[in-house]
Amino acid sequence: MPLLDSFTVDHTKMIAPAVRVAKTMSTPSGDDITVFDLRFCVPNQDVLSAKGIHTLEHLFAGFMRDHLNDDKVEIIDLSPMGCRTGFYMSLLGTPKAKKVAKAWKQSMEDVLSVKSENDIPELNLYQCGTYKMHSLDDAQSIAKNVLDKGIGKMDNKKLKMSKKQLKKANK
């Protein structure tokens, strides 16, 4: 099985909250695609609650589009990581991490302004696979934590694992 890019970085050196360009690529037609790691928690130290990350998924995807999409950038997908320490965001375009961090901050401010669970988009039996697994309180606590700590930027060069490190890690 091929080694995925996300497993070639040393998770013990990651900071959070922080933005990282996880991958860049070009399509055959020449469109640039960028994948961002939006890390909310330090891996193996903290984890987002299942209800909180699920509610955040419903809110964050729309709010990030409101703040980041423009004539040069369009979000394709924004999804929670299986490890529940953050989200991956795939988009058309190559925005700078600073611009992404600003949109993330604005989105967290938007999350704090949501008044009730009735205001969470697509929270119903027909549009959500686990519509009873939500917590606006948890999502707002996550947003407040991001705003209180501030959003940093991770350096891929400092996180990249050597072949020797990868071999040792997989023993």
Taking the alpha carbons at both ends of the chain, their separation in whole angstroms is: 16
At 1, is the pLDDT very low, low, confident or very high (cuts 50, 70, 90)? very low
Strands laid side by side in the 18-26 sheet:
74-80, 86-92, 32-39, 18-26, 152-153
At 8, is the pLDDT very low, low, confident or very high (cuts 50, 70, 90)? confident
Query: Do 121 and 128 contact (CB within 8 A), yes or no?
Result: no
At 2, is the pLDDT very low, low, confident or very high (cuts 50, 70, 90)? very low
Q: Is the pLDDT of residue 47 over 60?
A: yes
Model confidence pLDDT, tens digit, residues 88-142: 999 999 999 999 999 999 999 999 999 999 999 999 999 999 999 999 999 999 9
Model confidence pLDDT, tens digit, residues 138-168: 999 999 999 999 999 999 888 886 677 766 7
Model confidence pLDDT, tens digit, residues 12-39: 899 999 999 999 999 999 999 999 999 9
Strands 86-92 and 152-153: what pairing?
unpaired
Model confidence pLDDT, tens digit, residues 76-90: 999 999 999 999 999
Domain coordinates in residue numbering, the chain: 5-157
Identify the residue whose tokens are 């700590």: 149
Residue 90: the pLDDT is: 98
At 7, is the pLDDT very low, low, confident or very high (cuts 50, 70, 90)? low
% of the chain with per-residue pLDDT over 90: 83
Strands 152-153 and 32-39: what pairing?
unpaired
Q: Which helix (H) or strand (E) holds 102?
A: helix 97-113
Class of domain 5-157: alpha beta
Residue 124: the pLDDT is: 94
For residue 155, how many C-alpha atoms fall within 13 Å in the half-sphere facing its CB?
A: 2
Residue 157: the pLDDT is: 87
